[in-house]
């Protein structure tokens, strides 16, 4: 359910951004009144403004509804744990058993250090 609401929320968000960006500012109304080409649009001289305004208002309402529902759903989850509430096992014996055929990893103190690699740099004589 959360995934469906989240996908709808993202689609509404993208559509809302696109609609806000394609709307003309209020300063374009004077130019449209004197016939600067706005009357030859698909929606007429004022039709696009009311259509885009209504669509933007509807998408904004949908954005608020999906935002509030996602917040409500995430606030009422009981199975989610905080990362700070999870504790690490104290001993190796507390770890779950390994599947058959797998060997445990040796603790770091029992692993010998690798031998030093030969160097191409000559040794510096002491004082």
For the chain, residues with pLDDT lower than 70 are 25-49, 78-83, 86-98, 103-111, 127
Query: Exposure of 66 by Cβ count < 10 A (0-12 exposed, 13-18 middle, 19+ buried)?
Result: buried
Q: Mean pLDDT, the chain, as a whole number? A: 75
pLDDT tens, 63-91? 999 999 999 988 877 665 666 776 665 56
Q: Which residues contact 127 (CB under 8 A, 6 or more apart)?
A: none
Which of 14, 8, 1, 3 has the alpha carbon at shortest distance from 65?
A: 8
The percentage of residues in the chain with a pLDDT greater than 70, rounded to a whole number, is 55
**Residue-wise DSSP of 93-116:** GGSPPPPTT-PPPPPGGGSPPPPP
pTM for this prediction: 0.48
State the pLDDT at residue 94.
57
């Amino acid at each position: 359910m959360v995934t469906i609401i989240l996908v709808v929320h993202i689609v509404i968000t993208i559509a809302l951004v696109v609609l806000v960006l394609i709307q003309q500012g209020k300063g374009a109304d004077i130019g449209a009144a004197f016939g600067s080409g706005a009357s030859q649009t698909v929606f007429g001289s004022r039709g696009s403004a009311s259509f885009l305004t209504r669509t933007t208002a509807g998408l904004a309402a949908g954005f608020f509804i999906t935002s509030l529902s996602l917040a409500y759903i995430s606030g009422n989850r009981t199975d989610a744990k905080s990362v700070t509430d999870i504790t690490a096992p104290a001993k190796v014996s507390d770890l779950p058993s390994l599947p058959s055929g797998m060997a445990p990893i040796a603790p770091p103190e029992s692993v010998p250090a690798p031998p030093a690699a030969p160097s191409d740099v000559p040794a510096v004589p002491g004082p």
